[in-house]
Homo-oligomer: A and B are copies of this chain.
Amino acid sequence: MIDKQTEILKAALRLFVENGFHGTPTSLIAKEAGVANGTLFHYFSTKEELIVSLYVAIKKHLSACMAIEEKSEASLKEQLKNIYITALTWGIDNTTEFRFIQQFISSPYLLKLAPEEIQQKNNKILQLFQEGIDGQIIKNMPIDLINTLVNSHLFGVSQYINQSQLAAQQQENIINSSFELIWDMIAL
C-alpha cells in the first residue's frame, strides 16, 4: 500500500456514493481502506473533515483536468466549447466523483466549506461570458445566471449519459451536439 490517506479517500468516496454519508460508518471506511480505525482519525480528525476533504480533493482533481485546456487563439465559441467538452467528459469518465459532488452540494455539508472554497476560482469561463456579452455574441444577462445555467445543463447531460446505456457512437453524438444546444440558448 503506497498512501494510506489516498486509500481512505478512495474507500470513502465509493462508500458514501453507495450508502450516503449517514449510511457509512468510519469503521467501515477504515476496514475497506485496509487500515486501522485509528489511522483514519490520524489523517482526518473528524468524519466531517474527511467528507469535506474528499470534496476539496475531487474539486482539485477536476480543476487540474480543466487547466489543461488553454487555447486562447481560438474563437470565443470554440474556447467555450473546449471547456464545456472537457468538463462533460470528466463527468462521464468519473461517474462516482460526479455523483459525490452532486450529493455533497445538495447537503448541508456545503455550508461547512469556507466561502472562498465555494467560489469559482476558475473565473476564466466567467471572463469569456463577459467577453461574449461585450462583443454582442452572447445574450445580455447576468453572468452568474449564465454560469448557473451552463452548469445545470452540464449536470443534466452527464446524468442522462450516465443513466441511459448508450453506444459509444451515440454518446459521442450527444456530447458534440449538446454544446450546440446550450450555445443556442445563450448566444444571440
Does residue A78 face the partner (Cβ distance < 8 Å to B)? no
Q: A20-B109, A148-B157, A152-B152 are in contact. List 13 more A-B contacts (CB 8 A).
A: A20-B22, A20-B107, A20-B108, A23-B108, A99-B106, A139-B181, A141-B177, A148-B159, A149-B160, A151-B156, A152-B157, A152-B159, A181-B186
A-B contact pairs, 25 of them (CB 8 A): A19-B108, A20-B22, A20-B108, A20-B109, A22-B22, A22-B23, A102-B106, A106-B106, A106-B107, A144-B164, A145-B157, A145-B160, A148-B157, A148-B160, A149-B156, A149-B160, A152-B153, A152-B155, A152-B157, A152-B159, A153-B156, A181-B186, A182-B185, A184-B185, A185-B185
